[in-house]
């Protein structure tokens, strides 16, 4: 029997998944760049969920916080 999942439960599960992805990206950025300024961390937290995967790949090439800043400028949301 297939369990019944309400749209609220599905939304909560999706939000939990996105929050987990966001935490992972932040942890990777902090490890790669040796920490983040509060402003940069806030920008990453505010990113649209669709940009988390591209950022997780791009951060592999980052060497400084300036690289992250440039990436964020390139992907600013209107």
Residue 34 resides in a domain? yes
Burial 21-59 (b: 16+ CB within 10 A, else e): ebeebbeebeebbeebeeebeebbeebeeebbeebeebb
Domain count, the chain: 1
What per-residue confidence (pLDDT) applies to 78?
A: 43
What per-residue confidence (pLDDT) applies to 47?
A: 94
Range(s) of the domain holding residue 70: 7-74
Residue 28 resides in a domain? yes
What per-residue confidence (pLDDT) applies to 28?
A: 96
What per-residue confidence (pLDDT) applies to 15?
A: 74
Residue 2 resides in a domain? no
Residue 1 resides in a domain? no
The structure tokens listed for 33 are: 């760049």
What per-residue confidence (pLDDT) applies to 5?
A: 62
* Predicted confidence (pLDDT) per residue in 56-73, tens digit: 999 999 999 999 999 999
d(CA 70, CA 44): 13
Residue 48 resides in a domain? yes
Taking residues 4-27, report their average pLDDT.
Answer: 79
């Amino acid at each position: 029997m297939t369990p019944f999942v309400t749209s609220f439960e599905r939304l909560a599960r999706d939000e939990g998944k996105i929050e987990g992805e966001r935490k992972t990206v932040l942890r990777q950025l902090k490890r790669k760049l040796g920490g983040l300024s509060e402003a940069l961390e806030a920008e990453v937290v505010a990113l649209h969920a669709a940009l988390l995967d591209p950022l997780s790949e791009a951060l592999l090439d980052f060497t400084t916080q300036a690289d992250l800043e440039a990436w964020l400028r390139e992907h600013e949301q209107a």
